[in-house]
Amino acid sequence: MPTTSDGRLGLTASQTVGPYLAIGLTWEHGEEAVDPGTPGAVTVSGTLYDGEGAPVPDGMIEIWQAHPDGRFHHPDDPRGVAEAPPGFRGFARAQTVDGGRWSVLTLVPGAVPGPDGTTQAPHLDVSVFARGLLDRVVTRVYFPEHAGVAGPGGHAEDRVLAAVPEHRRHTLVAQQVDGGYRFDIRLQGENETVFFDI
């Protein structure tokens, strides 16, 4: 560790958050936010791409979310702690494998309260960890079936989504595919995923 001219310890140089995320940060079945076989379980999967458009083979995707009824099994939920559906953890962590592919098993969340009595559309909160990043980056996954919903729970009523320039909102909406949803994450470049400063 470096020392300053007056003998104090200096700052340690910054390091990126990868590429050894698999050591201590992932666990068996960690990519399952809900037990396999749970009624209504869906797979959300995609590919993590770097700024050159190449897949990132050594990244990690972390999701956390509300229950299907829009409640959280957490003391910070202002409505009180809600009992989780059987087998539902509301959290998952997946490594990228097979050329940047990642996948989690979960339930589609419900709408959650937003600021000033508004409602946020159902979404997954997502953290991305990868080589070259000095800290995680944070985004959201919205679901396409809520785009046309009028009123609370629809995309148009979500203040976070509305704050994103219209031409970039598509980077936050998953595509419905057989058995679930596809959500590719692009760290930079053309069609870069929108990330939030939190």
CATH code for the domain of 140: 2.60.130.10
CA distance 154 to 131: 35
Considering the domain boundaries, does residue 69 fall inside one?
Answer: yes
CA dihedral 189, 62, 121, 114 (to 10 degrees): -110
Domains contained in the chain, number: 1
pLDDT, tens digit, 9 for 90 and up, residues 69-124: 998 877 777 676 677 888 999 899 999 988 899 999 999 999 998 888 889 999 99
Q: Give the residue numbers spanning the domain of 124.
A: 22-186
Q: What is the pLDDT of residue 4?
A: 63
CA dihedral 147, 153, 159, 161 (to 10 degrees): -30
Q: What is the pLDDT of residue 72?
A: 82
Q: What is the pTM of this model?
A: 0.85
pLDDT, tens digit, 9 for 90 and up, residues 8-61: 766 655 555 555 555 556 667 789 999 999 999 999 999 999 999 999 998 999
Q: What is the pLDDT of residue 10?
A: 63
Residues near 12 by Cβ (< 8 Å), separated by ≥ 6?
Answer: 1, 2
The sign one gets for the Cα dihedral 176, 178, 180, 186 is: negative
Considering the domain boundaries, does residue 12 fall inside one?
Answer: no
DSSP class of residue 166?
A: G
Considering the domain boundaries, does residue 100 fall inside one?
Answer: yes
